[in-house]
Amino acid sequence: MITGITGQDGAYLAKLLLEKGYEVVGSMRRTTISDPIRLMELGIAGDVELCDIDLFEFSNIVRALERVKPDEIYNLAAQSFVSLSFEQPLYTGEIDGLGVARLLEAIRAVVPSVRYYQASTSEMFGKAQQVPQSETTPFYPRSPYAVAKLYAHWMTVNYRESYGLHATSGILFNHESPLRGREFVTRKITHGLARVRAGELPRLDLGNLDAQRDWGFAGDYVDGMWRMLQQESPSDYVLATGRTTSVRRFVEMAAAAAGFSLAWRGKGLDEVGIDTRTDKVIVGIDPRFFRPAEVDFLIGDAGKAKAQLGWEAKTTLDALVAMMVEADMRRVREGIRGI
Ligand code: NAP
Ligand code: G4F
């Protein structure tokens, strides 16, 4: 069972598990637009059984577990956009924090022998206390999202220690793909630049260009999730590439892949990215995209995952950027809007 199957990781994980011969049940919450577009994009929408779970509601979790009796549960469902969590801190806490407590309680009551994966995050390191960050680095969350995820992480550890659940917390650094939501910075950049290139958008406005992230490819990371649940004993694992890159550098790489010749001019809020071939501004700064508290720098140490799971990030950042730009240029060319 995968909660949050309509999201980026849900789609890649479902594909991986189907390829391994699993029967996959994916949970969705009811929304007005209910097509699982990412599953459709991967060509697996018809191969997955869908059921309704909203993590706000205890009773629908219990009923789904009683009916499905899963062997493994990957809890990927969350309000996952850090920026929105500053606007909706209580909702984010309800779903990303208490939602996990509801799920763990339901598991304890209905399927205590299930193997459980909790989607924890490098955002929990926040104002990072060590470089690079590993399973033993102290946490310092910097957003309501990260605070809620930290509660969920500790609840996962607590239910493992208190009740012997096979509950694992995967502390994943940022992972991206052509299926990434368009609100996250990498996809916003590749999608935005593809639209600028096609003349659909005059320029792309961003926030803090100097934040640095350890960006990997989501396809590699879902394999790490699966490996975690195949271990005899549950534990906590960091998944990361071990390299870090600024948003500014990501823009430069994506611009080059989209056929622009980008040069930066100006400073602070007046900084712009110019296409030197046309002298047009293609990137600008909009303070609306700054956050009340920022996570400036993340870089992960996935040594434990390598040693115990045999997992390593395989995809280079160059390959990831090329894959995302190519997908967005094609979608814009073909007029594909949904994803
Ligand atoms: P995503 O694309 O935003 O997907 C989140 C999923 O959660 C969607 O299917 C969404 O459904 C669902 N969801 C939201 N609210 C829900 C609710 N109240 N009840 C049930 N389902 C709900 O996120 P992702 O990038 O795939 O990430 C998967 C998980 O890993 C998330 O928990 C995220 O916080 C965590 N994580 C992600 C990264 C990363 O870099 N991608 C890194 C570390 C941790 P709708 O389609 O209906 O919105
Ligand atoms: O792409 P982002 O929104 O991702 P963020 O905040 O790192 O969170 C993502 O990764 C986490 C793992 O560490 C997940 F847990 C979480 O669910 C999510 O998937 O922002 C990355 C950086 C930030 O520093 C942000 O300030 O990019 C900076 N940024 C600059 N301009 C922007 C923008 N971010 C967004 N979304 N939009 C901008 O215009």
CA distance 282 to 162: 54
For 314: left if phi > 0, alpha if psi spans -120 to 50, otherwise beta; the answer is alpha
Considering every ligand atom, which ligand is closest to the CA of 207? 2
What is the pLDDT, as a whole number, of residue 225?
99
Catalytic site residue from 72, 123, 176, 252:
123
CA distance 221 to 239: 7
Nearest protein CA to atom 10 of ligand 1, as residue: 4
What is the pLDDT, as a whole number, of residue 31?
77
CA distance 281 to 272: 6
* Residue 51 bridge partners (DSSP): 27
For 180: left if phi > 0, alpha if psi spans -120 to 50, otherwise beta; the answer is beta
Nearest alpha carbon to residue 65 among 108, 13, 6: 108
Extended beta strands in 42-190, E state: 49-52, 72-75, 115-121, 166-172, 175-176
CA distance 72 to 70: 6
What is the pLDDT, as a whole number, of residue 32?
67
In the annotation, is 159 catalytic?
no
Considering every ligand atom, which ligand is closest to the CA of 184? 2
Nearest protein CA to atom 15 of ligand 2, as residue: 121
**Residue-wise pLDDT tens digits, 295-326:** 999 999 999 999 999 999 999 999 999 999 99
Q: Measured in angstroms, how far is the CA atom of residue 76 from the centroid of ligand 1?
A: 5
Binding site membership of 88 for ligand 2 (Cβ less than 6 Å) = no
Quick one: 231 exposed, middle or buried, by C-beta within 10 A (0-12, 13-18, 19+)?
middle
CA distance 212 to 30: 35
Distance from first CA to last CA of the chain, Å, rounded? 23
Q: Which residues of the chain have pLDDT under 70?
A: 32-33
